Amino acid sequence: MLQGLFDHIRRFVPLSGEEEQVLVQYIEIRDVKKKAFLLKEGQVCQGNYFILSGCCRAYFETERDGEQIYHFAIENWWITDYMSLESRKPSACNIQAVEHTSYAVLYRDVQDELFAAVPQLEKYFRIILEKALAAAQLRIKYIFTQTAEQRYHHFSGLFPDFVQRVPQYMLASYLGVSPEFISKIRAKKKV
């Protein structure tokens, strides 16, 4: 079940079979049903979540728009609330399963112990965090430099299968548009 995680780690750092066994001792596998929460607003985030199967979303509530999705995670993607995880303060966001989801969790309270036992995992998580930050910066750039239609086409071009997996209203929230806007873009494409 953890083969996807091991393969993902090996894309960035070497990992021996013995080190895999050490990692297994620190990872917990969980299953949640569709709409179940990995993290609720007001709770302290306890770990990093690696999606083995399924799909999750991270969002916060706004008075103006209701739910504002800022991150999705599908198979072989990580999701967490870094602000809550590192500050150990209550989260301002929610992480919820969009589909039935299986995930591996690395709890924050054992993370340093794992990094001491398998030092290259610290490098791995640094690389993952750098990639997440770069992706967030690029997303901010697109929000300010692309039209809503360009953002939709860019995202759907990068992740065509993903666009089919999530409900239209969630995709709209992530892109900062209305579901009706996405319907119009899709209708235009069919003509």
Q: What is the pLDDT of residues 100-150, one digit of tens each?
A: 999 999 999 999 999 999 999 999 999 999 999 999 999 899 889 989 889
- Whether 46 is covered by a domain: the verdict is yes
Question: For residue 159, is pLDDT > 90?
Answer: no
Task: Return the structure tokens found at 145.
Answer: 């430099």
For residue 44, being part of any structural domain is answered with: yes
**Helix crossing, 148-158 with 179-190: angle to 10°?**
70
Has residue 162 got a pLDDT over 90?
A: no
Secondary structure (H, E, C), the chain: CCHHHHHHHHCCCCCCHHHHHHHHHHEEEEEECCCCEEECCCCECCEEEEEEECEEEEEEEECCCEEEEEEEEECCCEECCHHHHHHCCECCCEEEECCCEEEEEEEHHHHHHHHHHCCHHHHHHHHHHHHHHHHHHHHHHHHHHCCHHHHHHHHHHHCHHHHHHCCHHHHHHHHCCCHHHHHHHHHHHHC
162-183 average pLDDT score: 89
Whether residue 164 has pLDDT greater than 90: no
Q: Measured between alpha carbons, how far is residue 131 from residues 77, 112, 126, 127, 134 in Å?
A: 11, 21, 9, 6, 5
Torsion of CA 11, 2, 79, 111, to 10 degrees: -90
Residue 190 is predicted with a pLDDT of: 63
158: in domain: no
The parent domain of residue 64 ranges over 3-118
Yes or no: say if 45 and 84 are a contact pair by the CB < 8 Å rule: yes
In a domain, 159, yes or no: no
pLDDT digits (tens, 9 = 90+) for 52-100: 999 999 999 988 768 999 999 999 999 999 999 999 999 999 999 999 9
User: What is the domain-level CATH number for residue 80?
Assistant: 2.60.120.10
Q: Is residue 59 part of a domain?
A: yes
The yes-or-no verdict on residue 176 having pLDDT over 90 is no
Structural domains of the chain, count: 1
Instruction: For residue 146, tell me if it sits in a domain.
Output: no
- The pLDDT assigned to 12 comes to 97
Residue 187 forms part of a structural domain: no
pLDDT at 157 over 80: yes
**9 occurs within a structural domain:** yes
pLDDT value at position 122? Answer: 96
Distance separating alpha carbons of residues 9 and 18, to the nearest angstrom:
14
